[in-house]
């Protein structure tokens, strides 16, 4: 039985919050760099270069890469051979968010009640998704999610007869409707299958997948490639001002579903698509 202290979790989560909001992940940095070279529109190239400049300034001045430092969303893989000491795991994660967002001078964007809307002033509570796995590790992935892109999310409860063409139409509809509001170039996370809530969770988690980690299911890989090509032909472009780089990637997750359903969720993220992982 491996023992992990909550104090170590708090420090780790605090560091993750600060780093994820100040530095672009390596896969996103590479995708953005490549997009500058592939973009056909001169205005599009200009916007992409401005985004690069913004990243350089954020690095040099130690300021967030986006002013919306998001709601802290966590995917936690907890090994069943792990024992947490010093308090509850959820409390430790929230304390880490509180510490990171306060000490890192990150914008606090969470209101405690969706109607009364009083700011909690420390960006808690976080959204935490748990998965109990084999082993004695604790893997924590943080994805700070801004709501310019989050508000563009969609769930389509398709009929089985709609098939793959219905899935394609749902993805394109969501991206078209999002237009410039999702701060393109965007990353499009898609969840296909499961239930209403499972498809949405898969779409959100798909955004954290490294671009180099391609699907092992051939039709899923082909669908990612086809959707990326079609999305980039929509002409929305960087900043929504036109061009050939509307999306940097389309990441798709799938799961078993009911004989009577075909849930499809689309969760879009802006060009920063923040995500960071630590293992204790």
Summarize pLDDT for 222-249 with one digit per residue, the tens.
999 999 999 999 999 999 999 999 999 9
Summarize pLDDT for 54-86 with one digit per residue, the tens.
999 998 998 999 999 999 999 999 999 999 999
Q: What is the structure's pLDDT at 147?
A: 96
- DSSP per-residue string spanning 119-133: B-SS--SPEEEEEEE
Q: What is the structure's pLDDT at 113?
A: 98
Pick the range with the lowest mean pLDDT from 32-41, 80-89, 156-165, 198-207.
32-41
Average confidence (pLDDT) over 123-130: 98
Longest Cα–Cα distance of the chain, Å, equals 58
Q: How far apart are CA 184 and CA 188, in angstroms?
A: 10
Indicate the SS3 state at residue 255: strand
Q: How far apart are CA 138 and CA 119, in angstroms?
A: 30
Average confidence (pLDDT) over 5-20: 98
For the chain, what percent of residues have pLDDT higher than 90? 97
Q: Hey, what are 267's tokens?
A: 């969760």
Q: What is the structure's pLDDT at 19?
A: 96
Q: How far apart are CA 15 and CA 105, in angstroms?
A: 13
Contacts of 216 (CB under 8 A, 6+ apart): none
Domain ranges in the chain are 2-20+65-145, 148-273
User: Which among 169, 187, 129, 179 has a CA at the least distance from the CA of 264?
Assistant: 169
Q: How far apart are CA 155 and CA 54, in angstroms?
A: 32
Q: Phi then psi for 192, rounded to 5 degrees?
A: -120, 125
Q: What is the structure's pLDDT at 49?
A: 95
- Kindly indicate whether the domain formed by 2-20+65-145 is annotated with CATH number 3.30.70: no
pLDDT category of residue 10 using cuts at 50, 70 and 90: very high
Summarize pLDDT for 132-153 with one digit per residue, the tens.
999 999 999 999 999 999 999 9
Q: Hey, what are 135's tokens?
A: 């082993």
pLDDT category of residue 195 using cuts at 50, 70 and 90: very high
Residue 133 burial (CB < 10 Å; 0-12/13-18/19+)?
A: middle
Look up the pTM and report it.
0.95
pLDDT category of residue 210 using cuts at 50, 70 and 90: very high
Average confidence (pLDDT) over 248-262: 98
Contacts of 71 (CB under 8 A, 6+ apart): 109, 110, 123, 126, 127, 144, 145, 147, 150
């Amino acid at each position: 039985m491996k023992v992990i202290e909550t104090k170590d979790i708090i420090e780790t989560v605090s560091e993750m919050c600060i780093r994820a909001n100040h530095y672009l992940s390596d896969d996103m940095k590479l995708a953005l760099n490549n997009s500058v070279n592939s973009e056909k529109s001169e205005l599009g190239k200009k916007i992409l270069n401005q985004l690069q400049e913004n990243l350089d300034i954020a690095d040099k001045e130690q300021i967030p890469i986006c002013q919306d430092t998001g709601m802290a969303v966590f995917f936690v893989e907890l090994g069943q051979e792990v024992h947490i000491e010093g308090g509850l795991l959820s409390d430790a994660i929230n304390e880490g968010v509180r510490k990171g967002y306060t000490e890192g001078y990150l914008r606090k964007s969470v209101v405690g009640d969706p109607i009364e809307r009083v700011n909690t002033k420390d960006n808690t509570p976080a959204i935490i998704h748990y998965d109990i796995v084999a082993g004695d590790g604790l893997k924590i992935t943080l994805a700070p999610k801004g709501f310019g892109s989050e508000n563009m999310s969609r769930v389509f409860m398709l009929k089985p007869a709609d098939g793959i063409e219905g899935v394609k139409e749902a993805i394109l509809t969501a991206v078209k409707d999002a237009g410039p509001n999702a701060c393109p170039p965007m990353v499009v996370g898609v969840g296909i299958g499961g239930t209403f809530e499972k498809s949405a969770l898969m779409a959100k988690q798909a955004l954290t997948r490294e671009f180099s980690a391609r699907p092992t299911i051939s039709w899923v890989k082909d669908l990612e490639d086809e959707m990326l090509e079609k999305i980039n032909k929509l002409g929305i472009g960087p900043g929504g001002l036109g061009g050939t780089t509307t999306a940097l990637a389309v990441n798709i997750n799938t799961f078993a579903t009911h004989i009577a359903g075909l849930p499809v969720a689309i969760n879009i993220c802006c060009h920063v698509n923040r995500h960071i992982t630590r293992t204790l």
